[in-house]
Structure 1
Amino acid sequence: MPTERDSTYHSFRSGWNSNDEFFKFTRGRFVVEEAENLRRREIKFDLNNLAQAAADSVGAAQCSSIKKYPNGMFNKSFLMTMVDGQEIVAKVPNPNAGVPHFTTASEVATMDFARKVLNAPAPHVHACNSRAKSHPVGAEFIIMDKVEGVPLSEVWDTTQLQQKLKVILAMTSLQKEWLTVSFSHYGSLYYAGDVQSLAYNHYVNEGMAINDPEFAIGPATGRDWGFSNAQTDPAKKLTALAWYQKIVDALIPKDTSATSPCFWHDDLHGDNIFVDPHNPERTTGNIDWRSCHISPLFNHSPDPAFLDWDGLEPETLDLPERPTLSKLSTEERSAAMREYLVQNVFIGWRKLMHGKNPDLYQLVGFRKTPADTPFPFDFSEEDFERIKLDRDGVVAGTELVSNIKEKMGGLWPDKGFIE
């Protein structure tokens, strides 16, 4: 006969699986191919079993409440509260998240490696499953600590300049730690039991080769390894790839410090960095390690996205002059001062990089230098004209989209959907 605890648990179980919003994409509407976009972001699984797995992973009797976080584009995340008050986060990938098994397995191992070896504030994982059919939940999942604090995006605009400089100083130190470790291969990190290990698989920490039996390097899981959709003509894509293969040796650096396999978090925007709301310069955690991978340093982004820099590459590290505001409207003054502040913070970031991470700053300088290898083939006049037409078409399309985006403001369908 069921006990009172069993009866209560059944009522929770029935409610959670019957709520369709837990499994669907509910963040907004897609402006194109909505049915297909929604399908790729909907996943059915047993939320009751996921809640029990979460409770078991932290030694709680059961889960008492579940709150769905705002939908990510590639996963669903839930805040689960246990009857004893513990809070954890459960994350389930959508069908569009990446290659089954490898994407989840790599994310879990990456967070563990980041915490243990790189001293990065990645969440601790309590339980996981990377093979959907092997578990009663019926889906891949990760159960991990809830990161304390608030996203940096919530406080960045109101944070004082001195505090912002302390934030970027902390980020400089974190990147410096990443640069102390290099690897034997390109790819993504996994636990050794989750992937076929490569020969001579190791990482190098402060000059010492370490053969860690816990971790292995396997296939790269980054979503940015696919082809761009900007050019829709397959023949032109193949031609561009063939040309690229001929010039790649002229493009890549000769300096081994820029080409050695390096681990990086390339998606440090304001929603992926958590800070103490009362002390914003104190980072409490970094999230979304799903697409982190090992590739040449020159392939990584040296500048974190939360800096919000979309201007040209600075010619010098001199701070910009304060704008003249007297003849501007109130709205124009606000925009000018915001741009001035963004420039100051970015220059401050680059100054810190120059002083504390010279290898990374050298990479920034490399991007400005001409190739020292002769161009390996010639274009005919016909080729030039065809390329020019394609280029002009892309530029015109980009400018048109930018103008429409500016006029629509908050109604612009970012990533194809509207909140």
Structure 2
Amino acid sequence: MCLSTTSRDASSAEPESFFRNTSRRWICNEDARFQEHYVKFNITELQHKAVETVNRPYCSQIIKMAEGGFNKVFLLTMDDGSEVVARIPTPIAGPRGLTTASEVATMRFLRETLHIPVPRVLTYSPTSDNPIARIEKKIFNFKFPAYGSLYHGHDIPKESRVDFEVDGGDFCIGPICKRQFWHGERADMELDRGPWTSPADCVSAPARRELACTSTFGKPRPRRAFLLPTEENIDPREHISLLSQYLQVAPFPVPAQQEMATPILRHPDLSFPNILLTPGTNKIEGILDWQDASILPLFMQAGYPAFCEHNYSQVQSLKEPNLPDNYGELNDVDRMKTDIKLQLEKANLYYYAATGLGMIQYLISHAGYPWDADLINFRAGLVGLTKIWDGLISDPCPISFSPDDDKAILNDATEWRECEEILLNIQENIGVDREGGTHPDDFEHVYEMAQRLRLQIYANAEEKLRKLFWKSWIFKDDAEPSRKEEDIIKVVNAEMLR
């Protein structure tokens, strides 16, 4: 969707549509999502900055080209037809200032030092005042002195950075700017955000962050996992206990091989939309969206890139993927796509099974999840680690679970994966992402499909579980008013008569 203004001075016509999200609608919690993606800025000043940067008389047009979860992208056309692309982060992109400063430093480092094809940064303000394999190999071969995020030295205080000498600019490693370390209350908390020189600190920092946050702000709440909700509240002390257990084992899974702890920079989302090709060829012109890129140990960064689609739930279970039941009914094009997807899923599964990194990365990621009362997978990850402990480490495991707990926890995890697969199918069938987002043109149809499906699930559930499932429907407003069960039944009956 492109929105534009063509005046030399847009001060009298700053369209609200530039500031709000116009490429997405949400079937639940829409007001909150719009607020997260709303960013107001001075369009005239943006035009003036672009004109000054490229030394042109004036900007004749500004167009909103695209927007995603964390940025809005604008195309500014000068009077002589030359073009400048400007990108403005949304409020949920990460820590103000650090997010932009780190991304710019990362792009300049890649372009000027490693000669990786990324767009040239003309100017920036950190404040509000195959070919891919060769590229990744080149980046992986550069040895950084610490873990964290990459910056220009002048953007970070000396006491908060690790300097290093390199051709092409003044770079340093400073505090990690990954969003998880700055989201919500965390932005105002005194947390260890690095830079770190020990891989053990990288493994434990996310858990220590969530331990501090849950201890301070965590409140009892029911679990809202799809098809696995609870009526009773779950105490955040359960999360605190699991985090404490994790911190007991966190130093041990760090591989003994020094090369596995090498500080590595990696693109955070190497998916097809972020890879620009020369039209009609496989030549890579540029790689976009380095926001949130971090330098972490190789054993935390290694894995298949995002463009190699795969089903993450299979990494947990090591269950080999299969062709879908309707494979024989697919046309030639869809069959080819399905074959490719299956091969990628198998390759990804074999990679994690062979390296053993899947379990470690899985556990580290769950230790960094915020308190939401859904502890099934975190608990299962800890059980899984105790199962493979003797094959990794000679020291006795400092945590343990009884055989009965083992069985119950792993059964819960299996049930969770089955429900997750159902949810993924629902998302695909009705056309929404995890937050209930869809294209504005499809909103009415998708919203109606979601409501109808919710009613069907309610009607088909066991009677004692109906009310619970209705309340825990994942695509509903958090502030949805409660409804009497007889009112729901009336709606269900009316729907069945349609």
CA drift of 1:271 comes to 0.6
In the alignment, structure 1 segments of 5+ residues that lack a partner are 1-8, 134-168, 204-208, 314-319, 352-360
Distance 1:254 1:39 in 2: 46
- 1:171 correspondence with 2:192: no
Residue 375 (structure 1) shift:
2.3
Partner deviation per Cα, 1:207-265 (whole Å, 9 max, x = no partner): xx759871111111123556699888532322221111111233221111111211111
Out of 216, 230, 247, the residue aligned to residue 172 of structure 2 is 216
Residues 380 and 309 (structure 1), Cα distance of their counterparts in 2 relative to 1, 3 Å cut:
closer
Structure 1 position 341, deviation (Å): 3.0
Residue 123 of structure 2: SS of its match in structure 1? strand
Gap change, CA 1:223 and 1:273, over 3 Å in 2 = same
Q: Partner letter of residue 295 of structure 1? A: L
Q: 3-state SS of the aligned residue for 1:132?
A: coil
Q: Report if the CA contact (8 A) 1:258-1:363 is conserved.
A: no
**How is 1:18-417 mapped onto 2 (pairs within 5 angstroms)?**
18-133=14-129, 169-197=130-158, 201-203=162-164, 214-224=170-180, 234-279=236-281, 281-310=282-311, 329-331=328-330, 334-343=333-342, 365-367=355-357, 370-373=391-394, 374-380=396-402, 383-384=405-406, 387-388=409-410, 391=413, 394-408=416-430, 411-417=431-437
Instruction: Identify if the C-alpha distance between structure 1 residues 301 and 365 changes in structure 2 by more than 3 Å, giving closer, same or farther.
Output: closer
**Alpha-carbon distance change, 400 to 346 in structure 1, aligned in 2, over 3 angstroms:** closer
Structure 1: distance between partners of 2:265 and 2:293: 7
C-alpha distance 363-113 of structure 1, shift in aligned 2 (>3 A): farther
- Partners of 2:254 and 2:19 lie apart in 1 by 44
RMSD over aligned Cα atoms: 3.6
User: Which structure's residues are more often strand, by fraction?
Assistant: 1
Which structure features the higher share of helix residues? 2
Question: Deviation at 1:71?
Answer: 1.6
The letter of the residue matching 2:336 is M
Distance in 2 of aligned mates of 1:63 and 1:392: 57
* TM-score, reference length from structure 2: 0.62
How far apart, CA to CA, are the structure 1 residues paired with 2:248 and 2:144? Answer: 27
Q: Which moved more, 1:182-191 or 1:29-38?
A: 29-38
Unaligned runs of 5+ in 2: 184-209, 215-222, 226-233, 316-320, 359-387, 440-498
Given that 2:14 and 2:43 are in contact with CA atoms closer than 8 Å, whether structure 1 keeps it comes out as no
- Counterpart for residue 487 of structure 2: none
Percent identical residues: 28
Inter-CA distance 96–406: structure 2 relative to 1 (3 Å threshold): closer
What corresponds to 2:379 in structure 1? none
Paired residue type of 1:306: F
CA contact (8 A) 2:7 2:60 kept: no
**Deviation digits for residues 185-219 of structure 1, max 9, x if unmatched?**
1110111111023589345xxxxx75987111111
Task: Judge conservation of contact 2:160–2:174 (CA < 8 Å) in 1.
Answer: no
